[in-house]
Structure 1
Amino acid sequence: MSGRRNPFKEIEEMMNRMSRQLEGSMGGEGMAQFGGGGASIDVADRGDEFVVTADLPGYQKEDIDLTLQGDRLSIRAERERETEQTDEGEGRYIRKERRHESVNRTVTIPEEVDEENVSADYRNGVLTVTLPKRSASEGDGHRIDIS
């Protein structure tokens, strides 16, 4: 079964390519100009684990939602910022701006991971997710007796 094509994976790869092209054509800003988009992500294979690093500057740990579903790691972050300038004499608004910002990225992990031992750390605007690989002996398979 592993030799079969997965059309959903091909569609996801095509969407990722289109997203990168859009970001490139907009001077690297991409969808972030429109209040949503992607974060810069690195995925490293360290032998016995995968390490995913995402740049999320300006977000708080509480703003980030991280989920692992099967072979897909989803990173979502949202924040709202409000800027206010007032006339100190009368206290009325001269300018008040509100902005909603979000990023959303999904990464396909190429091998099965040990979901129970996944860990994440967020420091100085960088999210690091460590996903230990599942060994063959930890799989869901079982021995089949031949009669």
Structure 2
Amino acid sequence: MEEKLKKPLHVKEGKVIKTPSEKNVTSSASGTDTGKTSNDKSMKEKMGEKKENMSNKIHEVKEGASKKTEDIQEGISDVTEEANKTKEEYEKESEKEGMTPAEKVLNDIVTRFRQGTGQINDAISDYNTKPEDGKESKSNKPKKALKPLVDVLETNDTVYLIADISGVKKDNISIGISKNSVELTVKYKEDAEIEDAKFTQKERSYGETNRIVKLSSEVKVHEAKANFRNCTLTITLPKVVEDITKVDIDD
């Protein structure tokens, strides 16, 4: 008697019937696939957002760099323009004085150095000058005539020199003017104003003092004017203005 083969319970008429355990496995696998797809989608969205943020930041950095480059270029342009302007002024001034621009620069440096040295020497001299009796004390310190304090003002066509000079008359003030400097000489009283009196303290200016003031512009020497009122000396110096001659163009 042939032994009949028993078909599995899950096979029926050519169709596969899943057992409860297989159904659970399939359902679980399906759920896992769905969750994985959802996670992948979320990751892609996040990556997309990060990429967009990065692109925005790169764009901002590029804009900032471009702005800074423009500012730097404008600054360089301003410096170049100022340098060219200064160069042109030096060339004009040096041509007037019969020097090359390099010679004028060197001359200006030497002049400023001499002025500074002169002021230092004057200050030292004020403290090193011995009194008339040769003795130094708290009441009789070394003293000599002080140099007048001077302000120099300029307009487009005029230079003004204003000096404070007290204790003298205008006849005791001497003014010497060249095309680029003014020399002031002031003579103060040398003796005591009271007859048969001696100094126990001496702080006012006595004797003669001299000061040279350099001018930054060339002036018309013969058109200078001076006024002395209320201890203030005012000197008016017209500037030398370049004469411009128009030239006709021939056909």
- TM > 0.5 fold call: yes
In structure 1, what is the Cα distance between the partners aligned to 2:127 and 2:237?
28
- 3-state DSSP of counterpart to 1:75: strand
- 3-state DSSP of counterpart to 1:16: helix
Structure 2 partner of 1:69: 178
**TM-score w.r.t. structure 1 length?**
0.68
Let me know the Cα RMSD of the aligned residues.
Answer: 3.4
Structure 2 partner of 1:40: 149
Structure 2 partner of 1:5: 103
Contact persistence 1:72–1:109 (CA under 8 A): yes
Q: 1:12 to 1:102 in 2, by over 3 A?
A: farther
In structure 2, what is the Cα distance between the partners aligned to 1:31 and 1:113?
37
In structure 1, what is the Cα distance between the partners aligned to 2:241 and 2:172?
33
Rg (Cα) greater in structure: 2
Q: 1:85 to 1:25 in 2, by over 3 A?
A: closer
In structure 2, what is the Cα distance between the partners aligned to 1:8 and 1:31?
31
Pair 1:108-2:214 in alignment: yes
Q: Deviations over 1:42-68 (max 9, x none)?
A: 111122100011111112100011011
> What number of residue pairs does the alignment pair up?
130
**Unmatched segments (≥5 aa) in structure 2:** 1-98, 130-141
Q: Which has the higher contact order (CA 8 A, sep 6+)?
A: 1
Q: 1:31 to 1:115 in 2, by over 3 A?
A: farther
Pair 1:56-2:165 in alignment: yes
In structure 2, what is the Cα distance between the partners aligned to 1:16 and 1:132?
24
Deviates more, 1:3-12 or 1:29-38: 29-38
Pair 1:121-2:220 in alignment: no
Contact persistence 1:72–1:108 (CA under 8 A): yes
Percent identical residues:
19
**TM-score w.r.t. structure 2 length?**
0.43
In structure 2, what is the Cα distance between the partners aligned to 1:45 and 1:17?
22
Higher helix share: 2
